[in-house]
Every structure is written in C-alpha cells, then in structure tokens.
Amino acid sequence: MPLVAMRVELVDEPNAMARIAAALGAAEVNIVDIDVHELDGSHVCDELVLDMPDRMNPGGLRQVLVEAGATSVLSVPFDQRRMDAVVRCLDAILATLHADAEDQLTAAICGLVPVDELEIRSIDELGGLDPDGSRLRAGTPVARRVDIDGRPRWVLALPITEGERAESAVLVARIGLRFSATEIARLRSVLRLHQHLSRAGALRS
C-alpha cells in the first residue's frame, strides 16, 4: 500500500480531526504518522503520513479529506526515514555539528523544514518584508505571501541576533506551503543552537 504525505488545514474546533480520521478509516486509509502545527487563531494544520489502499490515488484521497472538512489539502515532501518530527530535529542538530562551515546552517534548516530557497541577507535588504527593519532587528520573524504566476510563494525571514539586536536574517522561501507557527518555532530553535555552538567554538570550520 503506497505511503503519501499530506498537509491538511482544518478549522480549529472540537471533533475536526475526529471527522478526518473517521473519513479516512471508512476509505480504508491508515494514519501512519501525524504532526500537528499551529497556524493562527482559527485554523490548525496536520501533516499526515497516510497508507492508502492500492485502488486509491492521491486525487481520491484529497477528495476524502475535503469532504470531511479540510479547508486546504497539499502534498508535502516525504522521507519515510525522517517522518517523525523529533527525528528531524535531531538530524538537524547533527547536520549543524558535522557539515562544513559554509553548509552548516543550510544543512540544519533544510533537514528540518522543506524549503525551496535559502540565503542570508542584511536586514537593510529586506524592506519588502519589513519596511523599516524594526521587527527583524527586535528579533521577530516576518513572513509574507507573494504570488508568482498565480501560485502562492511564502517567504520567511528569521533574524540572526548578535549582541542587542539583529542586523542580518536567514531568508527562506517555498512555493505553495505557508510556514506554520510550529515550523517557525523549530527554525528559531535551530538558529539559536547554531549561534550558541558557533560562539562556543563547537562547529567545524
């Protein structure tokens, strides 16, 4: 039976996930893994690894989820060896410790959260995200949606704090999938870890 990974957005209300689980069970789809993400005050997001019956295709699975109340259903990159969130976090730490200097942060972030683009930019260059730079310099991440050819492109800037305020930021972007509050919190933790290890001289040069 094929495994697929789906990001399912739901209204944050009692029994919303129960309706999804019941619909999947009725369709003989097994929930192998679930990672719950916070989005905003009214919605939550569940990343599901699902085991479909051979007769079902991803389009049919998406229809089951929408009919059960999902407000959005998107496919996400799937790696069976790292589908557990804790394993992904530990892998990100190992990537930080063992990669070459120029690749350490990239390896850690890409191992934790799927991104299409990643670079480090001066906050002065990010006026399109934070016009006066005050939020980023104060240490607050900034995310924006920018549509390209009708497709949503989500951009997230994570400030790199050195001393009392930040002057640069990690800029990540991807098509289609917005960054959840859970992903932002995980990325900030990895970024803080990288900074602490760097100051302690624990990273490879």
pLDDT digits (tens, 9 = 90+) for 71-85: 989 887 666 545 677
Average pLDDT, the chain: 84
In a domain, 19, yes or no: yes
Does residue 139 carry a pLDDT above 60?
yes
Reported confidence tier of residue 159, pLDDT bands at 50, 70, 90: very high
As a whole number of angstroms, the longest Cα–Cα distance in the chain is 58
Q: Which residue has the tokens 């002065």?
A: 124
End-to-end CA distance of the chain: 45
Reported confidence tier of residue 189, pLDDT bands at 50, 70, 90: confident
Model pLDDT, residue 201: 67
User: Is residue 120 domain-shared with residue 70, that is, in the same domain?
Assistant: no
Model pLDDT, residue 78: 67
**Backbone angles phi and psi of 46, in degrees to 5:** -115, 125
Select from 80, 105, 125 the last residue of a domain. Answer: 80
- What is the rounded distance in angstroms from the CA atom of residue 109 to the CA atom of residue 14? 33
Q: Is 105 helix (H, G, I), strand (E, B) or coil?
A: helix
Select from 31, 59, 80 the last residue of a domain. Answer: 80
Q: Is 8 helix (H, G, I), strand (E, B) or coil?
A: strand
User: Is residue 67 domain-shared with residue 19, that is, in the same domain?
Assistant: yes
In a domain, 38, yes or no: yes
Q: What DSSP line would sit under 113-133, residue for residue? A: S--SEEEEEEGGG-TTTSTTS
Q: Count of domains in the chain?
A: 2
For the ranges 8-12, 85-89, 140-144, 181-185, which has the lowest average pLDDT?
85-89
In a domain, 87, yes or no: no
- What is the rounded distance in angstroms from the CA atom of residue 12 to the CA atom of residue 175? 24
In a domain, 179, yes or no: yes
Model pLDDT, residue 134: 94
In a domain, 95, yes or no: no
Do 4 and 52 form a contact (C-beta atoms < 8 A)?
A: yes
In a domain, 147, yes or no: yes
Does residue 204 carry a pLDDT above 80?
no
Model pLDDT, residue 83: 63
User: Is residue 121 domain-shared with residue 76, that is, in the same domain?
Assistant: no
CATH value at residue 72: 3.30.70.260
Does residue 191 carry a pLDDT above 80?
yes
Reported confidence tier of residue 2, pLDDT bands at 50, 70, 90: confident
- What is the rounded distance in angstroms from the CA atom of residue 117 to the CA atom of residue 107? 12
Six-digit token pair at 168?
Answer: 């640069």
For residue 201, which of 74, 93, 101 has the smallest C-alpha distance?
A: 101
Select from 65, 80, 95 the last residue of a domain. Answer: 80
In a domain, 28, yes or no: yes
User: Is residue 134 domain-shared with residue 62, that is, in the same domain?
Assistant: no
Model pLDDT, residue 1: 63
In a domain, 160, yes or no: yes
Angle among Cα 51, 40, 171 to the nearest 5 degrees reads: 85
Write the pLDDT tens digit of every residue in 95-112: 767 655 557 777 778 778
- What is the rounded distance in angstroms from the CA atom of residue 205 to the CA atom of residue 203? 6
Q: Which domain holds residue 15?
A: 3-80
Higher-pLDDT residue of 95 and 19 is 19
